[in-house]
Amino acid sequence: MLYLVHMVVNIPASVPAEEAARIKAAEKAYSQQLQESGQWPHLWRVVGEYANYSVFDVASNDELHNTLSQLPLFPYMQITVTPLAKHPSSIR
């Protein structure tokens, strides 16, 4: 199943810089692992924001929830999920 996921990150200023850097490094490693596995085939940055739009390809709602909740930045994210279906006019 495909999902369009919008993630907005807001790390509070109270998080020490070293901790924020550690979390961001862990996030990058985990997200690249998911991209390499094919579960996260598309990732786009939103210009001017600490946010992204992504497409996830996972088997179920539960798998997506589990995947997203394991993101190191998850506690600092506002996430919106839109399930996607093939459009009948699509040639792909």
Helix-, strand-, coil-residue percentages of the chain, each rounded to 5: 35, 30, 35
If we measure between CA atoms, which residue out of 87, 72, 75 comes closest to residue 4?
A: 87
- Is pLDDT above 90 for 92? no
Sorted by where each starts, the structural domains of the chain and their CATH numbers stand as 2-84 (3.30.70.1060)
For the segment 36-91, what is each residue's pLDDT rounded down to a tens digit?
999 999 999 999 999 999 999 999 999 999 999 999 999 999 999 999 999 999 99
pTM above 0.75?
A: yes
Asked if residue 15 has pLDDT above 90, the reply is: yes
What is residue 43's predicted lDDT score, i.e. its pLDDT? 98
Q: Is the pLDDT of residue 30 over 90?
A: yes
